[in-house]
Chains A and B, each alone.
Chain A
Amino acid sequence: MRLHLSLLASCLLLAGALAAPAGAQVQVQELAKGNGITHLRVSNGYFDVEFAPESGATASSFKTRYGDKEWIFPGYGGMFRTVFVGVGFPTSDLAWIKHTYQILDPGPEQVVLEFRTLTKENVTVYRKMTFPSGSPVVRVQLGMINEGAQSTVQGLWPDFMMYLSGVPEHNRYYRPSIRGVSETGWDDQTKTMTGTDYERNPYEGWTAALNTSTGEGLVWLMDYNWLKLLYNCNNSWTAEWSYDYATLPKGGKWETEYDMILTKGFPGFCHASPQVIAGMTMTPRGDRLEITHTLSRSVAGNLKDVRLTAQLRGVDSGEVHDLPALTCGDLTWEPQRQVQTIPVKMDQRLVCDVELTGLSAAGASLQESYSYYWPGSQGEGFDLMAGAGTTTYRRPAPRKVKEFLKPPGLAYYRKPEPRMLECRGPFYHYFRVPELATRAGISVIEDSYLTQTFAGTSLTYFPGSYEEMFKQDLLVLNNVTAPSLTDFGQDAVREFVKAGGSLLVLGGQFSLGAGAYRNSVLGDVLPVQVSATPFDLVRLDPPGRLMVAPAARVLHGLKLPETSACFWLNAVQPKPDAWVEITAGDRPFLICGRYGAGKVAVVAGTVCGEPVGTQRAFWETDDWPDLLCPVLRWMLGDTP
């Protein structure tokens, strides 16, 4: 998690001490463009940027100290543009609408601008931008305020469309992912922009772009805890990312910060943080592998006494090769290159783990680690696939941490007429939840629906406040993903169940492992350990016949007269305090447990597959209501 205020302070304090070009004091000018339009131009020795408040407050011109070429291409080009998640560019009004501006600080140490607009969604979106003198860094505080009468769920999506160094060739993009650094963009062989646009599994809070010919690059640092995905539209030369949806109650505010750093001299990027920017290449040289480290400081200031220790690890073999420690000394904005070689079998997948130590500008000790994945000399460049049908290298993404303000005195009580909210994903109707819930005594049923777009999954409705969540008695997640609830929604569910509410989770292609429950707040609440792999949908062959488990408490003694079967289920393991009610074959099918004062049941079975011959799908038989209704009654009753 980034400590923004302290970093900003250190960034600004150090700005004057950097190797700034002569006459590099930052300046801002208001440029009259006619027809009442005014542009703002900021120059600080590293770059010269012009903003168009009348058109999304987009940077309509951008030039750097390294060349006089215009980076913003005609037409749709622009930098620092913001759109709403799920609306996209160029559809989003936010990309084009007029912003007001204020020059909060005209210099000379720094220039601070603020752009602000009220969108048709009744949300004020603002962007406060800080340009220190003689610094390659732009700091952006990006936020939104809900001006409407109802709570709303919105996400922001920053968008940079430009040619690095002003030319369309040689533009490459770097995204930290659970599979290593995923690269996309210019392909030297085909002379076109090619590769995968989306990186949906970021691993750290940064992304970067580089002109591999000129060496000019841009690194963006953003808050990993709010980072949803990274994106580069190869057809349009963009660097973009999406933040998670934020739930904004009436008058609620959401704010984040990101930095954009102009770099020169990196051959590529494998890691970036407020302390350090790093690139790594691995090149076979005869029987030795040459590892080149490129390092510079980042926004937090120069670094002293930097040492680097690297270890090479075979992904498949598990072999570990320690590399000699490297002494880097001081790190400034000028990238420093260190090369080491090692004899190693090169037709294998390798990971280089780096440990970096040193002192911050203020003298505090610093430790930072990062990794670089190399698919081997037979690999496919940065396509991280090692071959058809193989398991891909992946590392678990660090868990995101978000904190939400909870109203005081929040308490759950069961309503005289029990209420249920069912969040419905694909094929939800096969589970017949409303029918069975009514049979179990639930009086009020509300619903919500899953949608999946390029920006991920979302629900048509989910409580926007803790109070709203606590109005329910039972929440049913019927084949919906954890991210569709938003992080706030998951926190609300946790508080709701902890306080005594009930949660029923039903399996499917959008649930449990496939629904990103693992490593989520929602996963904490469940009585099952969700599979370590998101590919947890398992075919039962032969189909798993439903049986009451020996440890069953709620369904103990229940007869399941119909020989119904489950064909596919999400593979889960019961947590220590949980118990299995029903098995399908030898797999847990229905698992119950407690979380705080609440009750939670997970049906790991799915409605996938189809019966063959005399087989009968469980959801089509009377076994299903016979087992689910008692569980629903248990969840809403006083029986422990």
Chain B
Amino acid sequence: MNLGKLAMVVVCGLLCLAGRAFAQDQVTVSVWPDKLLYDPGQTANLDVTVVNPGKQPVQGRLTVKVLWEMAEAQTVLDQPFLVGPEQQQRVRALWKTLDVLGCEARADLFVGDQRLAGGSEYFNVCPTREMQRVGIYAGGGSSGNFFSTSPANLDALTADVLRGRSCYGNFYEYFGWPPDTYANLAPAGDEWPSVYGWVQKAAVRHAIAQAHRQGLKVMCYAAGYAYSLTAGELARRHPDWFMYGDDGEIALGPDIPKMDWQRNPDHRATSVMAGWAVSAFPNFTRRETVDFGLQQIIASTRMFGWDGVRFDGHYLLYPPGSYDVTGKRIPSGEAAAAVERLNTRTVRSTITKLFPNYLFMYNSGTDAADLDEECRGGGGVGYEPIRGAWLSTAPTHSWQGMADFLNREADRARARGGYTYPLMPCVWDVCPNVDRIQYPIVFACGNHPWFAGPTLDRASDRGGSHYPIQKDLFRFATRFSAVLWGRGIQRVPAPESLVAVTSPGDRAWWKDFVYQRPLAGGKRQVVVHLINRPDQPNLDANNQQLPAPLTDVVVKFQRPPLRVWLATSDPALTYQQVPVENGVVRVPELKLWTIVVAEMEGE
């Protein structure tokens, strides 16, 4: 090695070391909205933190903007800013929120014309009664002593909410807390045994308050079945309020030792005696049974301040083929549908008279006979069986089958004003590569994630945690909730009339995921989801492979767009306006999911 080369190596080494030191001393800027979800008109507190780890003061301008849609923005703070050496400084920007759905709060520190540092955070603005339009599930409580008031547990409840929020889940549904999902949702006393163990009222209230503090909604889990002694006693006092099998036995499912324990509960025996004492099905052809459940929900809402109710089976005529106490067949077919529609309508209208912004969510799928009523006013429609998509017999086991099904669900609900929530992925079976593929399909099909919330991770879950993938994708969905679920959005049944996509091997999957939505000013937006189609046609929970990234994906719009953006979350959230030539946009790389958003004239 000659001296010249040696000198060059030394200089390069010194520069690298200096660079590292400079990086360590870099100023950081972060922004934190006080809530994840606001009602329009509320004031968002955007707390900006600037940290200067260096030895020199930094002086410049601090700007805070709120951005929404693809390019809408409002500056909410623009001021000179000085942060001393090795100091941290906070400033709060206020924004009177607008009804715009997904937002980004961005704080930047400029020195001269140079942007020294910046940071972003994401949230939604949506009226409460409509919040399921942007709904992302955060969690559902847990087992064991989840609702105890021990200091450690109260801290854990707070941490649980923060974890849910950190993953952009914006609503909870707390289950397992009440003495009974139908017969006792407003328990007297300060504590009671639930199916999971002892619950303390103050802990439930604490959890709800923590969620509200972060802007998360909390729904009460309720059902059209009953599982406790309370319900058993109801069946004893009113045998005519319940369903019977064709062998004349009441479908009560009693576990007598558990009923005895609930009659004389003993803390020491909780671990063995918790669980269902009965499993009874009220006869919802009777108005008294509907009213009874309804009054429980109302009383519970007054007691705890729930934002809504998530029914796990609502006031339907179930199980099919049942009888009333006299041996008369419970109606089926259209007669049953009429009763169910009336029940759903009655429950909603009665509750919303008292609580106008109340949320309703059902676990029924869109084949429900009362779907119109479920969706009316922005109801959520969950679909639980899709969690069996990993089974080879499931119609949703193939990726195409899953997309077809999810599109059908979303289309049906959307046409009625509702929102769909497939229960996926299976919470206890974590396959990151499956998550990386199925969540984009869920979103591209206009659905909302439900149930495998980030706070439901358990040590026993096979495969780890859904959290890291959920966090990235749910953040993206939060920022672009308007593009995914905005008002007036419709899936385009014949997308070739608007757009054509070419890709190597025709691997880009897009025809199932093209949408149009109206924009302000008479314009419209065409949204094309590009998904890199997996090589394996079916979901493989044991060995799911990710497709190799695609290059040279070309999107050609039949009419030239005004502007086009690409947005992706693979894994970092990025979006940018891209050039359009003769209606053609080039997507340099498609890893798994990229959204092409085109602004068009309004015709």
Q: Does B393 contact A (CB under 8 A)?
A: yes
- Can you name the residue of chain A whose Cβ is closest to the Cβ of B367? A190
A514 touching B248, Cβ below 8 Å: yes
**Chain A: number of interface residues, binned into ranges:** 35 or more
What is the interface residue range for chain B against chain A? 35 or more
Contact A426 B335 (CB under 8 A): no
Minimum CB–CB distance for A561 against chain B, Å: 26
CB <8 Å contact, A390 and B328? yes
Contact present for A389 and B237 (CB under 8 Å): no
CB distance from A634 to the nearest CB of B (A): 28
Q: Are A481 and B249 in contact (CB under 8 A)?
A: yes
**Binary contact readout A236-278 vs B (1 if CB under 8 angstroms, 0 otherwise):** 1100000000000000000000000000000000000000000
Q: Are B236 and A537 in contact (CB under 8 A)?
A: no
The B255-294 residues at the A interface (CB cut-off 8 A) are 255-257, 259-260, 263, 278
* Residue A370 interfacial (CB < 8 Å): no
Q: Is A586's beta carbon under 8 Å from chain B?
A: no
B84: interface (CB < 8 Å)? no
Assess whether A76 is in contact with B391, with CB atoms less than 8 Å apart: yes
Bound-state Cα–Cα, A303 to B254, Å: 49
Interface contact B249-A510, CB-CB below 8 Å:
yes
A207 vs B355: C-alpha distance when bound (angstroms)? 52
Whether A539 and B237, one on each chain, are in contact in the complex, defined by CB atoms closer than 8 angstroms, is no
- Starting from the known contacts A192-B395, A201-B246, 10 additional A-B residue pairs (CB-CB under 8 Å) come to A75-B392, A76-B393, A200-B246, A392-B329, A426-B236, A426-B252, A450-B254, A509-B250, A533-B248, A535-B248
Pick from A190, A383, A509, A515: contact of B235, CB under 8 Å: A509
Beyond A75-B392, A452-B249, A534-B247, whether A196 also contacts B327 by CB under 8 A is no
Residue B422 lies at the interface, judged by CB distance under 8 Å to chain A: no
Check if A451 is an interface residue, CB within 8 A of chain B: yes
6 closest A-B pairs by CB: A534-B248, A535-B327, A388-B331, A449-B256, A388-B335, A514-B248
Digitize A607-627: 1 where CB-to-B-CB distance is under 8 Å, 0 elsewhere.
111100000000000000000
State A543–B292 Cα separation when bound (angstroms).
24
Inter-chain contacts of A168 with B (CB < 8 A) = 393
By a CB distance below 8 angstroms, the chain A residues around B253 are 452-453
Check A451–B236 contact: CB distance below 8 A: no
Contact in complex: A509, B249 (CB < 8 Å): yes
8 Å CB interface, B312-361 against A: 319-321, 323, 325-333, 335-336
CA distance A470 to B260 in the complex (A): 29
Residues of A within 8 A of B255 (CB): 451
Q: Counting CB contacts under 8 A, is A427 at the interface?
A: yes
Once the chains bind, are A608 and B246 in contact (CB under 8 Å)? no
Which chain A residues (374-398) contact chain B, with CB distance < 8 Å? 380, 383, 385, 387-392, 394
Determine whether B385 belongs to the interface, using a CB cutoff of 8 Å to chain A: yes
* The residue from A236, A515, A516 contacting B393, defined by CB atoms under 8 A apart: A236
Q: A426-B232, A452-B253, A510-B249 are in contact. Are A388 and B329 (CB under 8 A)?
A: yes
| Nearest chain A CB to B265 CB, angstrom units | 15
Tell me if B601 counts as interface (CB < 8 A to partner A): no
Inter-subunit contact A509/B328 (CB<8 Å): no
Which residue of chain B lies nearest to A389 when distances are taken between CB atoms in the complex? B328
Shortest CB distance A28–B (Å): 29
Q: Distance in Å from the Cβ of A244 to the closest Cβ of chain B?
A: 14
Most buried by A among B247, B336, B393: B247
* Pairwise interchain contact A536-B254, C-beta atoms closer than 8 A: no
- A515 partner, pick from B249, B326, B388, beta carbons under 8 A: B249
Residues in B neighbouring A387, C-beta threshold 8 A: 335
**CB nearest to B538 among chain A residues:** A74
- Chain A residues 33-62 with CB under 8 Å of chain B are none
Chain A residues with CB below 8 A from B472, complex form? none
B244 at the interface (CB under 8 A from A): yes
Residues of A within 8 A of B53 (CB): none
- Does A424 make an interface contact (CB < 8 A)? yes
Closest to A195 in B: B320
Question: Residue of B at shortest CB range from A535?
Answer: B327
Complex: chain A residue closest to B393, CB-CB:
A73
| Chain A residue at minimal CB-CB distance from B330 | A388
Give A449 to B392 CA distance when docked, in angstroms: 40
| A179 contacts B246, C-beta separation under 8 Å | yes
Min Cβ gap A191→B in Å is 9
A609 touches B327 (CB 8 A): no
Q: A196–B320 contact, CB under 8 A?
A: yes
Give every chain B residue within 8 A of A460 (Cβ-Cβ): 257
